[in-house]
Amino acid sequence: MQTRQLGSTGLQVSALGMGCMGLSFGYGPAVDRATGVQLLRAAFERGVTFFDTAECYGPFTNEELLGEALAPFRDQVIIATKFGFENGDSKQPLNSRPERIRAVAEASLKRLKTDRIDLFYQHRVDPNVPMEDVAGAVKDLIAEGKVKHFGLSEAGVGSIRRAHAVQPVAALQSEYSMWWREPEREVLPTLAELGIGLVPFSPLGKGFLTGAITETTTFDASDFRNQVPRFSEDNRKANAALVKVLGQIAERKQATRAQIALAWLLAQAPWIVPIPGTTKLHRLEENTGAASVVLGADDLAAIQVALDGITVVGDRYPAHLQKRVGG
């Protein structure tokens, strides 16, 4: 798999990374440890060198899983993790106080069985802590060698600029896909200006763009999508038009919907690195196959016309979670 550079701080990663949250958290029951280890190692064998986790995925169990799985080839991979919640629990208040950032770093290093965090993200902007203090705390950890690169997640343009002025930001992680294109308005131009990479999470629309989810699909009681307005039965029915168009494009290119959705993201800029997640080996193989799907100018123009003709229905977050986005 080809590599890409995130930001101007020299962070080289595989063109497609792997979002690891779903192995432990968010999308129904966690996979068993052996299955998770096997899948993560299979990703590495297929060229993935960029793995994304967070202390709150579990909490804590996802980092422990990565620590075990990636240990045999630790020096050949890039591990990204995150800080930002009280007690590492995403259901609790935000907390990005400098002392908390340092405590998270020390604990994450142990769980990940490593001596450095390659990319350390602020998970969500904390309105109670000046961004300069957050960036300064990570800058100190970088100076000590415990962290290599600084990232932000779901931050707004103002926060990105304030952070970058203190410690160069290597990457912004935000949702971006064919069915969530909001970053194109302000965020992408700002990243291009400042030389910051973009790491799109949910690049397959939390599974919807694969075509495997229909209006009749039911989710496990612990699945986050039960709370997402865009995944209501009526909205899934309304949004099926996008999946249909994606299927037509995929058929012409002799690829799958997921591969087209990922190839489209890769084609938007050379500093974009999507991190699709999965718990299934065949989906992993499908996703990594997207790195070799080439969309030409004509393909991209046709996709643009198709997307412009579709209105996606439903909010991407419930109101209480949307409050934590941007800033």
The answer to whether 13 and 151 have CB atoms below 8 angstroms apart is no
What is the C-alpha separation between 54 and 327, in angstroms, rounded? 20
| N- to C-terminal Cα separation, the chain | 35
Strand order across the beta sheet in which 78-83 lies: 18-19, 50-52, 78-83, 117-122, 147-153, 169-175, 197-201
Rounded Cα distance, 25 and 157, in Å:
29
Please check whether residue 111 is in contact with residue 60, taking contact to mean a CB–CB distance below 8 angstroms.
yes
Helix (H) or strand (E) segment spanning residue 5? strand 3-6
Sorted by sequence, the CB contacts under 8 Å of residue 98 that are 6+ apart come out as: 129, 133, 134, 136, 137
The residue annotated as part of the active site, out of 27, 57, 121, 176, is: 57
121 catalytic? Reply is no
- Angle at which helices 131-143 and 98-111 pack, to 10 degrees? 40
Distance CA 103, CA 100 (A): 5
- Catalytic annotation, residues: 57
